[in-house]
């Protein structure tokens, strides 16, 4: 309970999404960061790519399941594929 209370309190570096369907709320942010990361990585700008990677984290409580890491990785890959073709 303490960990959840701290996360819900947020701050300038944490945004708590209290929703049953976080996909639409996260799509714009995740796709934008991933596109920036790709743009930096393609020409080999490792410093910028690492800085972009460090600018956003999606914290998941589970590895698998509808809100787990594996699901979010697949979802972001689909979104990026839709964006980049």
Query: What is this structure's pTM?
Result: 0.67
Residue-level pLDDT at 49:
95
Span 9-26, average pLDDT? 83
pLDDT tens for residues 23-82?
888 898 888 888 899 899 999 999 999 999 998 888 888 999 988 999 999 998 999 888
Residue-level pLDDT at 84:
77
Residue-level pLDDT at 46:
96
Q: Which residues pair with 11 in a beta bridge?
A: 14
Residue-level pLDDT at 51:
95
Give the helix ranges, DSSP H, for the chain: 2-9, 23-41, 46-54, 69-84
Tally of residues, the chain: 85
- Triad 64, 28, 26: Cα angle to 5°: 35
């Amino acid at each position: 309970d303490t960990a959840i209370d701290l996360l819900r309190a947020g701050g300038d570096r944490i945004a708590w999404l209290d929703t049953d369907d976080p996909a639409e709320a996260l799509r714009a942010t995740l796709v934008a960061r991933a596109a920036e990361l790709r743009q930096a990585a393609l020409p080999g700008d490792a410093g910028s790519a690492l800085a972009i990677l460090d600018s956003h984290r999606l914290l998941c409580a589970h590895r698998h399941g509808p809100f787990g890491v594996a699901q979010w990785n697949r979802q972001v890959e689909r979104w990026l594929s839709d964006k980049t073709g």
